[in-house]
Structure 1
């Protein structure tokens, strides 16, 4: 890790909050300059900076040790901190495989870290050989989104492992959409590879984008540096409480996940029948990438005029005239199809 983590982070003394310094139970707290008035919610008090109750629940769910977990304000916080603890500004870089999630590049640019783009192959598979030929010591982080956003496809485990064996940096596997897939998570490989970090989120299959909760799972040493540089109270009580309740009741999650999978298959078949649709790409996420024969921009605008919003992805590499359509409830999908039939006639 000495060659991956920035030198100033290796020697950083983390901020110690009042709640870090006292971990026991008391009935009078006069240490953190909080308000003494509580309406019964305990929101007058700072939350646990290490989210111990939530951490235990998440560790049980993913079947991992608690010290392998970083809990963040969405996966975006984990992405940001991974870049901050590894990439020396103006010197080091990240690697990504466009088309992919846009925040990897944005957060790297904010940190003044360079970005090396290695395009996915024409069939959206990982360009393993291209990657192997381009590595050097300044490539500190490689982001692999699987299932990939916006293409929807998954990458074989053996391809990801080939990347890990090639680089001396961290491989960050973003599994934001894996709940909608039947492939095995890379979480099971954490013990095999010290330089593997897996990202998960509550924003998709858990129907909780509004609470902003993400998780990074990896080598305890890497995770310890993320916890050292995070804001002291990055997860609020309301978010932690809601996440715990979701993990306690998994039936709704399971039912909705399975419904999205069924609707995704139906939508792929129905969209393929429409005039003006060139390709509906296979997907293992909760969305479909669709290439239209004419202008994606025109289609997006016409649907927006009818109150239906889809995402124009036509400016991304290998995505000419492509739109991304999120799978909704059955009635939502039916409305979209009916309107597209009228527009594409």
Structure 2
């Protein structure tokens, strides 16, 4: 088998494509022939040694994995060779094969490609967890989504709009704003606008927000919080905007507003059965055409270094997904 591994964290140049013996599944495990491994911002941070979790070495990046069951170990009963599954691991996806536990995999429904299953696995579930269990979204509420052209943001636009919310998207490019409107946003605002609060007052009904869905948390963080209506909720999902912002603590008091963290790994651990039901439902909705699949940029395994570099620059215009072999036309 081939896998893209590194013996140190800190530089993407320290990772290379190597040949290793084919792994064998143990009790309760399955070996997958990798169809696709989606990469996100966190993958780039891990490789560069900038993430709070430091994996064991040697490390193989890529945790959002879709694959075909290739072999099963003793005790596996839910899957047989040939089944298509998706799984989220700490890493291992940038390889032709990977071994995972049976109970950490979910079936991929007919009508959903491996590319899209891997690409939506974390982003769509994170959006659903943020909007509903954490944000308590109700029909008719006003939702502003930052980073609306990204994977998590575009999923949030769809989910909120389909739940009856009035969605306004925040994105830096005209293309990103147009896509957000196509996905269900009622309006879109440039994140580069020097007076975001004025644009919000002009654009949202009542001039205020009920929920800020914020995977960016960049320089506009405080103006967005100040734009919340009474009892509004500002959901924090990440800090891809750069430096972590601070907030004067009198603002939540004056607005009776809440700053709410959305940490998907906690959800998967603390509410595992509920999280699995959500994952399966989301994949089913995309497979049935009720929701749009994520926009993906497929890259071959031998270009994994370029793929990991692109996760931090966010320069590819879609979710980066690495596949074994040669990439053909989309």
TM-score, normalised to structure 2, is: 0.32
Rg larger for:
1
Larger % of helix: which? 1
